[in-house]
Amino acid sequence: MLMNMILLLPIVLFFTGLLTFIFNRKHLLSMLLSLEYIVLSLFFLLFIYLNLMNFSNFFSMLFLVFSVCEGALGLSILVSMIRTHGNDYFQSFNILQC
């Protein structure tokens, strides 16, 4: 019973992060925060799985490195968008425009 609860918690966290990502489409910052929440829930699930199977935690550290790189890339896109357009609304600029 406890094992099912331990595995169910990251799955619930993942789906709540997915729902917040779907419903908060107006601002880039809220979308980036929900994506980081999803990545953290996936890391939690990966960490639990690797510990239950008695594997090494090297892959989880590699996953954290890639998630930090993804977060830095998202923040750089956010900063460049705010500098060029003045806000982070998706409706305020045209994506097809060069």
Give residue 7's region: left, alpha or beta (phi > 0; psi -120 to 50). alpha
Residue 96: the pLDDT is 52
Determine contact, residues 38/71, Cβ cutoff 8 Å.
no
Indicate whether 21 belongs to any domain: yes
Residue appearing with tokens 């993804």: 70
Task: Answer yes or no: is pLDDT of 95 > 70.
Answer: no
Coil, helix or strand at residue 87: coil
Q: Is residue 94 part of a domain?
A: no
**CATH number, domain at 68?**
1.10.287.3510
CA-to-CA distance for 66 and 73, rounded, in angstroms? 11
26 within domain boundaries: yes
Q: Is residue 37 part of a domain?
A: yes
59: in domain: yes
Average pLDDT, integer, range 44-58: 88
Tens of pLDDT along 59-85?
Answer: 888 999 999 999 999 899 888 888 887
Provide the number of structural domains found in the chain.
Answer: 1
Residue 96 falls inside a structural domain? no
Q: Is the residue at 98 inside a domain?
A: no
State pLDDT tens for residues 2-30.
777 888 888 899 999 999 999 988 888 88
Inter-residue contact 29 to 88 (CB < 8 Å):
yes
Q: Report the pLDDT value the prediction gives residue 68, as an integer from 0 to 100.
A: 92
Report pLDDT for 77: 86
Asked whether residue 93 is assigned to any structural domain, the reply reads no
> What does the pLDDT read at residue 5?
80
- Domain around 16: 2-85
